[in-house]
């Protein structure tokens, strides 16, 4: 798929270098409260659920278009998540924060206890429903959940592209926002083909 090819090309240009010593990397690392660190932590969590949902639907339908989309999300977002966690390690920052998610955006989110750790993320009940669904029902539920997930992810990526101090995060976040916008449009078309809407 074209989106996957573009994503892989973008990743090539923002992959962190491993040639610099860890000590010098830590010395020039973004601050604990920076958009760079906050985005890396939050988007790693956000991506983890997108990958999980994609694995679920891959095994709940035989539809090639949906399975191909799921495969693209698995590969692209798992790769990006690895990069984000790698940067946190290189910066000497913990992979999780004791504070609330999205505080770096100026509007922290308090988890409601339903499994949705951030805006746009599916609840435990929604994931259970996806696991129980089959065929067209699984396809429609996945596309709706992933559309909501992508919209929140794109908002987070746009914020990081604007506020981050490192070129790596700005470049990756900008690419994420564009790719997710394209996939949102694709999923709207796929829902329409199945007689459903994003709402």
DSSP string, 109-177: ----SSS--STTPPPHHHHHHHHH--HHHHHHHHHHHHHHHHHHHHHHHHHHHHH-SSHHHHHHHHHHH
Q: Residue 197 has what pLDDT?
A: 86
Q: How far apart are CA 96 and CA 142, in angstroms?
A: 27
Q: How far apart are CA 134 and CA 130, in angstroms?
A: 8
Q: Residue 179 has what pLDDT?
A: 97
Q: Residue 112 has what pLDDT?
A: 77
Q: Residue 32 has what pLDDT?
A: 94
Q: Residue 3 has what pLDDT?
A: 42
pLDDT per residue over 158-170, tens digit each? 999 999 999 999 9
Query: What CATH number labels 32-89+121-199?
Result: 1.20.1260.10
Q: Residue 78 has what pLDDT?
A: 98
Q: Residue 26 has what pLDDT?
A: 65
Q: Residue 135 has what pLDDT?
A: 97
Q: Residue 27 has what pLDDT?
A: 62
The parts of the chain modelled with pLDDT lower than 50 are: 1-25
């Amino acid at each position: 798929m074209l989106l996957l090819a573009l994503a892989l090309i973008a990743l090539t240009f923002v992959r962190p270098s491993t040639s610099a010593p860890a000590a010098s990397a830590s010395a020039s690392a973004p601050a604990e409260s920076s958009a760079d660190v906050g985005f890396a932590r939050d988007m790693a969590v956000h991506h983890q659920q997108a990958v999980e949902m994609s694995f679920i639907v891959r095994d709940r339908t035989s539809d090639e278009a949906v399975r191909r989309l799921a495969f693209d999300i698995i590969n692209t977002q798992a790769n990006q998540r690895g990069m984000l966690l790698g940067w946190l390690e290189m910066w000497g920052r913990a992979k999780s924060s004791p504070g609330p998610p999205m505080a770096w955006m100026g509007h922290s989110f308090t988890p409601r206890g339903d499994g949705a750790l951030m805006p746009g993320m599916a609840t435990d009940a929604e994931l259970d429903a996806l696991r129980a669904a089959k065929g067209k029902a699984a396809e429609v539920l996945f596309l709706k959940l992933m559309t909501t997930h992508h919209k929140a992810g794109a908002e987070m990526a746009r914020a990081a592209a604007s506020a981050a101090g490192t070129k790596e995060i700005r470049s990756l976040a900008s690419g994420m926002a564009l790719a997710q916008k394209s996939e949102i449009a694709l999923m709207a078309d796929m829902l329409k083909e199945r007689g459903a809407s994003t709402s």
